[in-house]
Amino acid sequence: MTAQFHHDSSRSSKISGTQTNDLFTLSATQAISRLKSQRITSEELVMSALDRSDKLRHLNLFTTLDPDKALGAAREIDHRRASGEDVGPLAGLPLIIKDNIDSASLPTTAGSKAFEGWQPKEDAPVLASLLKTGGVMLGKANMHEMAFGVTSNNPVYGPVRNPYDTTMISGGSSGGTAAAIAARVVAGGLGTDTGGSCRIPAALCGCVGLRPTIGRYSSAGVIPLTWTRDTPGPLARTVDDLILLDSVCAKRPADVPVLSLSGVRVAIPSSFYDDLDSELAQVVEDALMELRRAGLVMVDVDVTGLKSTGADFRGYEGPRALSSYLFEHGSRMSVIELVEKVAGPVERERLAAQLETGPSDVGVFIESLVVDRPAHLAAVADYFKDNNVSAMIIPTTALPARPIGNDDMVELNGRQAPTFSTYTRNTAFGSGLGLPCLSVPAGLTPSGLPVGMEFVGPAEGDGVVLALGREFEKIVGPLPPPSI
């Protein structure tokens, strides 16, 4: 299957008279400032994004791209703004949306033949919020098939390529969203995160990605993997852009304090720093040194007793969550039929294995959910309180991007290691406990690949991790753009 591109044959002539050459360099907040002051129009901004996407087709960023729809939405916003209407805080900003998030105007495929031709009747609530406040959906992002992996090496639409080195993976499963932002096609967009699917591609592609506290965003209308871990999450070029997107997705702004890092206490759990790729480790150490110079107080308080407390219910929840989604959408397809259509053999086998869970697992699931999980959450809350730390700071991943095709095993410090568990090693902790987690670029390796640092906060501490990430971003500075 190839990506669906719907062309406007007259678009090139319309663009020729418009100065759009530098618009792709703007962050979301910069673009919105220019839109509000009418120094640019939404049509110009969307045209610039479409031109950029044409140039970078080899990155395989989209599953569906419809210029007519995007330009039509942009022109409507420009007309409303010119008429003096209140068009909303995101009005005119082009965004890319991961293709497992329901959209009424474009197909939703989860990057899989299993959902080929799938057309939801309404937008997922999180997407509806972005569109209601003026965001323009440029297209649907390529991703790891069924969101069930970390490489975004998609067997249906082709691999999403890393803008910093097109032979490398973008990370996953929100690879298309992260790569499009890093490549300066758009300034922001939506992904989803179950075990690290916003943060891993953000780290590997050099942008910022947020996993909000579980329940902060509605997960309705998202093709699911698990009820207890799935959440939409925004990705963007800067933390300020994320703060803006988060306020819309959550329908309430996070309390993001203005703070100085001097005297702030954070945990640096040593077990998350074990066995890091040597090039990545040097970037991490340099970033920590800059934070120490800024006055951040780092406390090595490990989480050995907590790392296994995030119970994983995916084996039980997966088939049931998918079945509920299909039923709610009026589909006659069974989960068994859906799994048989999955193209990737590894993804198909993992999903098929989940079908083997039976009634005997119900009691274990209920006990884990109503007894063990609350105890684990209380233990983590005590960890932050007893050690008087605002957050944990850890490397988002143990290694930077690796070559496309290393889906099963990946090289780490001279040996082969399982790709999935190696990339999710540090992100799984926050996912299992539903904590707010933010990945921010820390620098480039000597090989020119991005490295991310992750801020993990207590439950409902979204504002704190965003504030810390914003200060970190100021200290380490922005990454140079990819040379594509």
Let me know if 334 is a catalytic residue. no
- Indicate the range of 20-24, 260-264, 287-291, 306-310 predicted with least confidence: 306-310
- Backbone phi, psi, residue 379, to 5°: -65, -40
Structure tokens at 3: 């990506």
pLDDT at 360: 52
Q: Higher model confidence: residue 265 or residue 5?
A: 265
Let me know if 27 is a catalytic residue. no
Q: Is the pLDDT of residue 394 over 90?
A: yes
Instruction: Tell me how far apart the terminal alpha carbons of the chain are, to the nearest angstrom.
Output: 26
Distance (Å, whole) CA 221 – CA 239: 26
Which residues lie closer than 8 Å to 348 by C-beta, 6 or more apart? 339, 340, 342
Distance (Å, whole) CA 177 – CA 197: 10
pLDDT at 251: 84
- Mean pLDDT, the chain, rounded, equals 92
Distance (Å, whole) CA 179 – CA 201: 8
Q: Is the pLDDT of residue 14 over 60?
A: no
CB 92 within 8 Å of CB 137: no
pLDDT at 366: 78
Distance (Å, whole) CA 72 – CA 69: 5
pLDDT at 361: 67
pLDDT tens digits, one per residue of 16-29: 334 456 899 999 99
Residue 357 — pLDDT band, cuts 50, 70, 90? low
Q: Is the pLDDT of residue 343 over 60?
A: yes
Q: Write the DSSP symbol of residue 482.
A: P
pLDDT at 311: 53
Distance (Å, whole) CA 439 – CA 453: 5
pLDDT at 307: 60
Which pTM does this prediction carry? 0.95
pLDDT at 13: 33
Which residues lie closer than 8 Å to 245 by C-beta, 6 or more apart? 28, 90, 130, 188, 234, 236
Mean pLDDT of 108-115: 97
Q: Higher model confidence: residue 162 or residue 15?
A: 162
H-type alpha helices, 105-157: 125-132
Distance (Å, whole) CA 422 – CA 399: 8
pLDDT at 3: 66
386, burial (CB in 10 Å: exposed 0-12, middle 13-18, buried 19+): exposed
Distance (Å, whole) CA 196 – CA 429: 9
List the catalytic residue out of 48, 112, 129, 197.
197
Q: Write the DSSP symbol of residue 14.
A: H
pLDDT tens digits, one per residue of 53-73: 999 999 999 999 999 999 999
pLDDT tens digits, one per residue of 446-480: 999 999 999 999 999 999 999 999 999 999 999 99
pLDDT at 374: 86
Q: Is the pLDDT of residue 416 over 70?
A: yes
pLDDT at 7: 41
pLDDT at 12: 40
Let me know if 341 is a catalytic residue. no
Share of the chain above pLDDT 70, in %: 93
Residue 276: beta bridge partners?
none
User: Could you check whether the bond before residue 173 is cis, i.e. omega within 30 degrees of 0?
Assistant: yes
pLDDT at 4: 62
- Backbone phi, psi, residue 428, to 5°: -65, -30
Share of the chain above pLDDT 90, in %: 83
**Exposure string (b/e) for 291-308, b if CB count within 10 Å is 16 or more?**
beeeebeeeebebeebee
Structure tokens at 327: 């039923």
Q: Is the pLDDT of residue 99 over 50?
A: yes
Which CATH architecture fits 4-262+396-476? Alpha-Beta Complex (3.90)
Structure tokens at 72: 């039509």
Question: Which residue spans within 339-471 are E strands per DSSP?
Answer: 391-395, 409-412, 415-418, 437-444, 450-456
Q: Is the pLDDT of residue 369 over 70?
A: yes
| Residue whose C-alpha is closest to residue 24's, from 6, 47, 41, 5 | 47
Q: Is the pLDDT of residue 10 over 90?
A: no
List the catalytic residue out of 112, 129, 173, 431.
173
Distance (Å, whole) CA 107 – CA 269: 43
List the catalytic residue out of 69, 98, 112, 129.
98
- Which own/partner pairs from 341-345 qualify as long-range (CB within 8 Å, at least 24 positions apart)? 341/112, 341/113, 341/114, 341/116, 342/112, 342/113, 342/114, 342/145, 342/146, 343/112, 343/113, 343/145, 343/155, 343/156, 344/145, 344/146, 344/148, 344/149, 344/154, 344/155
- Indicate the range of 33-37, 88-92, 251-255 predicted with least confidence: 251-255
